[in-house]
A and B are shown apart, each in its own frame.
Chain A
Amino acid sequence: MSLRKGSVVKPPVFEYMAPATVEETVRALARHGARAAPLAGGQSLVPLLNRRRVRPDVVVDLGRVAGLDTVRVADGAVRIGALARLRTLERHETLGAALPVLRQTVRLVAHPQIRTRATLGGSLCHADPAAELPALAVALGARLRLAGAGGERELDAEEFFRPGRTARRPGELLTEITLPLRDGFTHRFVEIPRHAHGGLPLVGVCAGTRREADGTVTAARIAAAGAADRPLRLRGAERALTGGPLTEEAVARALDAAASAAAPPADPHGDAAYRTALLRTALRRALAAAPHPGTDPKERA
Chain B
Amino acid sequence: MTAAPAGPGPDDTTARPDAPQQPTGGPIGRSVPRLHDDRLLRGQGRFTDDIDDGTALHAVVLRSPVAHGRLTRFDAGAARADGRAVLVLGPDEIARHTRPLPTVWRIRGQRQDTIELAPRTVRYAGQPVGLVVAAGRAEAEDVAELVETGYEPLPAVVGTDAALADGAPLVHPEYGGNTAGSARFGDSEDEVERALAGAAHVVTRELGVQRVAYTSLETRALLAEWTPGTEQLTVWAGTQVPHPFRYGLARALRLRVDQVRVAVPDLGGAFGGKTVLHADETLVCLAARLLGRRVAWTEDRAEALTASYQGRGMSATARLGLDADGRFVALDAHITGDVGAFVSQAGTGPFQVAAQAIEGPYRFGRAGASVRAVWTNAVPTGAYRGYGMQEACWIRERLVAEAARELGLPAAELRRRNLIGPEELPYTTRTFSTYDTGDYPRALHSAEQAVADAPRVREGRIRRGAAAVPSIEATGYGPTSLLEAAGMEAGGWESGRIRVNEDGTVTVFAGVVAMGQGIETALAQIVADRLGVPLGLVAVRLGDTDTTPRSEFSSQASRSVVVAGGALMRAGARMRERMHALAASLLETSAEDVRLDVEGEDEPVFRAAKTSRTATWAQVAHRGWLGWGRPDPDRIVLEETVDFDPPGLTYAYAAHAAAVAVDLDTGQITVEGYWAFSDSGPLVNPMIAEGQIAGAVAQGLGIALTEEAALDPSTGLPLTTSLRDYELPAPATVPTALHLSHTSTPGTVAPGGFKGLGEGGMLPAPVVVANAVADAVPEIARRLERTPLSPYRVWTMLRDAGLATG
Residues of A participating in the B interface, judged by any CB pair closer than 8 Å: 3-13, 47, 50-52, 192, 194-200, 259, 268-271, 273-274, 276-278, 280-281, 293, 299-301
On whether the beta carbons of A301 and B669 are closer than 8 Å, the reply is: yes
Known contacts being A4-B136, A6-B55, A197-B729, is A280 close to B791, with CB within 8 Å?
no
Residues of B within 8 A of A280 (CB): 806
Q: Told that A51-B722, A268-B792 touch, could you supply 16 new A-B pairs with CB distance under 8 A?
A: A5-B54, A6-B58, A6-B135, A8-B49, A8-B296, A13-B138, A192-B668, A197-B731, A197-B732, A268-B710, A269-B792, A271-B792, A274-B667, A278-B665, A280-B806, A301-B663
Given A196-B669, A301-B662: A11 and B58 within 8 A (CB)?
no
Query: Taking the complex as formed, is B56 at the interface, i.e. its CB lies under 8 A from any CB of chain A?
Result: yes
In the bound complex, CA of A197 to CA of B138 (Å): 36
Residue of B with least CB distance to A6: B54
Residues of B within 8 A of A8 (CB): 49, 58, 136-137, 296, 298
20 contacting pairs across A/B (C-beta < 8 A): A6-B55, A6-B56, A7-B138, A10-B138, A13-B138, A51-B302, A194-B791, A195-B791, A196-B663, A196-B670, A197-B731, A197-B732, A198-B732, A199-B706, A268-B792, A274-B795, A277-B804, A281-B665, A293-B462, A301-B666
Q: How many Å lie between the Cα of A280 and that of B799 in the bound state?
A: 14
The answer to whether the Cβ of B193 comes within 8 Å of any Cβ in the partner chain is no
Judge whether B805 is part of the interface by a CB distance below 8 angstroms: yes
Does B663 lie within 8 Å of A9, measured CB to CB? Answer: no
From the candidates B137, B668, B725, B796, name the one contacting A196 in the complex (CB within 8 A).
B668
Hey, what's the 0/1 contact readout for B693-711 against A, CB within 8 Å counting as 1? Answer: 0000000000001100010
In the complex, residue of chain B having the shortest beta-carbon distance to the beta carbon of A280: B806
A148 to chain B, nearest CB (A): 32
Q: Find chain A residues with CB under 8 A from B666 CB.
A: 192, 196, 278, 281, 299, 301
Interface: B502 (CB within 8 A): no
**Is B141 part of the binding interface, using a Cβ–Cβ cutoff of 8 Å?**
yes
Q: Residues of A contacting B49 with CB < 8 Å?
A: 8
- What B residues does A10 contact at CB under 8 A? 137-138, 141, 300
Question: Are A197 and B142 neighbours in the complex by a CB distance under 8 Å?
Answer: no
Interface mask (B650-668 → A, CB under 8 Å = 1, otherwise 0): 0000000000011101111
Within 8 A of A (CB), among B704-745: 705-706, 710, 719, 722, 724-725, 727, 729-733
Chain B residues with CB under 8 A of A51: 302, 722
Report the separation of the CA atoms of residues A293 and B724 in the bound assembly, to the nearest whole angstrom: 28
CB contact list, B608-663 vs A, under 8 A: 661-663
Pair B733/A281 contact, Cβ less than 8 Å: no
**CB distance A5 to B136 under 8 Å?**
yes
A3 and B669 within 8 A (CB): no
Give complex CA distance A268, B727 in Å.
Answer: 12
Cα–Cα distance between A199 and B724 once the two chains are bound (Å): 9
Q: In whole angstroms, what is the CA distance A195 to B732 when docked?
A: 10
Is B52 on the interface with A (CB-CB < 8 A)? yes
Bound CA span A273–B54, Å: 53
Residues of B near A192 (CB, < 8 A) are 666, 668
Chain B residues near A12: list those with CB within 8 A. 138, 141-142
1/0 contact string of B113-141 vs chain A (CB within 8 Å): 00000000000000000000001111101
A196 to B791, CA, bound (A): 8
Q: Which of A6, A51, A259, A278 has the most chain B CB atoms closer than 10 A to its own CB?
A: A6
Query: In the bound complex, what is the Cα–Cα distance between A300 and B735 (angstroms)?
Result: 13
Task: State whether A276 touches B135 (Cβ < 8 A).
Answer: no
B724 touches A200 (CB 8 A): yes
State which size class the interface on B falls in: 35 or more
The chain A residue sitting closest to B729, CB to CB, is A197
Among the interface residues A3, A8, A50, A269, which one has the most CB atoms of the partner chain B within 10 A? A8
Instruction: Determine the chain B residues whose CB is within 8 A of the CB of A299 once the complex forms.
Output: 666
Closest-CB distance, B725 to chain A (whole angstroms): 7
Closest residue of A by beta carbon distance from B298: A8
Question: Which residues does chain A contribute within 8 Å of B710, judged by CB atoms?
Answer: 268
CA distance A176 to B299 in the complex (A): 40
Specify which chain B residues have a CB less than 8 angstroms from the CB of A195 in the assembled complex.
Answer: 668, 705-706, 727, 730, 733, 790-791
When distances are taken between beta carbons in the complex, the residues of chain A under 8 Å from B731 are 197
Chain B residues with CB under 8 Å of A47's CB are 722
Contact present for B792 and A270 (CB under 8 Å): yes
Residues of B within 8 A of A6 (CB): 52, 54-58, 135-136
Cβ contacts B27-47/A at 8 Å (1 or 0 each):
000000000000000000000
Whole-angstrom distance between the Cβ of A205 and the nearest chain B Cβ: 13
Instruction: Please judge, given known A-B contacts A5-B135, A6-B135, A7-B138, whether A276 and B806 are in contact too, CB under 8 Å.
Output: yes
- Report how far A11 CA is from B731 CA in the complex, Å: 31
How far in angstroms is the closest Cβ of chain A from B791? 6
Closest A residue, CB atoms, query B724: A200
Given A268-B725, A277-B795, A197 contacting B730 (CB threshold 8 A): yes
In the complex, which residues of chain B have a beta carbon less than 8 angstroms from the beta carbon of A52? 141
Q: Contact partner of A197 among B55, B665, B733, CB < 8 A?
A: B733
Q: Please give, as numbers and ranges, the residues of chain B lying within 8 Å of A50 by CB-CB distance.
A: 300
Instruction: For B661, give its contact among A199, A271, A273, A301 (CB under 8 Å).
Output: A301
Using CB atoms, name the residue of chain A closest to B804. Answer: A277
Nearest residue, chain B, Cβ from A12:
B142
Query: Which residues of B lie under 8 Å from residue A200 when comparing CB positions?
Result: 724
Q: Which chain B residues in 766-806 approach chain A with CB under 8 Å?
A: 790-792, 795-796, 799, 804-806
The B205-244 residues at the A interface (CB cut-off 8 A) are none
Query: Chain A's nearest CB lies how many Å from the CB of B211?
Result: 13
Query: In the complex, A83→B799 CA distance in Å?
Result: 44
The answer to whether B732 touches A278, judged by C-beta atoms less than 8 angstroms apart, is no
Q: Quick check: B727 and A194 within 8 Å, CB to CB?
A: yes
Contact of A198 among B302, B730, B790 (CB under 8 A): B730
Compute how far the CA of A109 lies from the CA of B796 in the bound complex, rounded to whole angstroms: 27
Q: Which residue of B lies closest to A5 (CB)?
A: B135
Q: Give, as a whole number of angstroms, the nearest-CB distance from A85 to chain B.
A: 22
A264 to chain B, nearest CB (A): 12
The winner among A50, A268, A293, A301 for most chain B CB atoms within 10 A is: A301
User: B302 — nearest CB in chain A belongs to which residue?
Assistant: A51
Closest 5 A-B residue pairs measured CB to CB?
Answer: A277-B806, A301-B663, A197-B732, A196-B668, A196-B670
Q: B667-687: contact bitstring with A at CB < 8 Å (1 yes, 0 no)?
A: 111100000000000000000
Chain B residues near A273 (CB-CB < 8 A): 799
Cβ-defined contact, B138 with A9, below 8 A: yes
Q: How far is the CA of A13 from the CA of B140 in the complex (A)?
A: 12
Task: Give chain A nearest CB distance to B300 CB in angstroms.
Answer: 7
For B669, the chain A residues whose CB sits under 8 A away are 196, 301
- Whether B670 contacts A7 by the Cβ 8 Å rule is no
Question: Chain A residues near B58 (CB, 8 Å)?
Answer: 6, 8
The answer on a CB contact under 8 Å between A268 and B137 is no
Given A8-B136, A277-B665, are A197 and B670 neighbors across the interface (CB < 8 Å)?
Answer: yes
Interchain CA distance A194-B662 in the complex, whole Å:
14
Distance in Å from the Cβ of A82 to the closest Cβ of chain B?
24
State the CA gap A195–B667 with chains docked (Å). Answer: 9
Q: A5 contacts which chain B residues (CB < 8 A)?
A: 54, 135-136
Minimum CB–CB distance for A84 against chain B, Å? 25
When C-beta atoms are compared, the residue in chain A nearest to B727 turns out to be A199
Chain B, residue nearest A11 (CB): B138
B806 touches A281 (CB 8 A): yes
Whether A13 and B142, one on each chain, are in contact in the complex, defined by CB atoms closer than 8 angstroms, is: yes
Residues of A near B730 (CB, < 8 A) are: 195, 197-199
Give A7 to B138 CA distance when docked, in angstroms. 8
A274 to B733, CA, bound (A): 22
Contact assessment for A3 and B139 in the assembled complex, using a CB-CB cutoff below 8 Å: yes
Q: Which residue of A lies closest to B805 (CB)?
A: A277
Q: Which residue of A lies closest to B798 (CB)?
A: A277
The residue on B at minimum CB distance from A203 is B666
Chain B nearest Cβ from A51, distance in angstroms: 7
- Closest beta carbon of chain A to B91's beta carbon, Å: 24
What residues on A are CB-neighbors of B724 within 8 Å?
200
Distance in angstroms from B299 CB to nearest chain A CB is 12
Query: Chain A nearest CB: distance from B496 CB in Å?
Result: 37
Nearest opposing residue in chain A for B719, CB measure: A268
Closest chain A CB from B145 CB (angstroms):
8
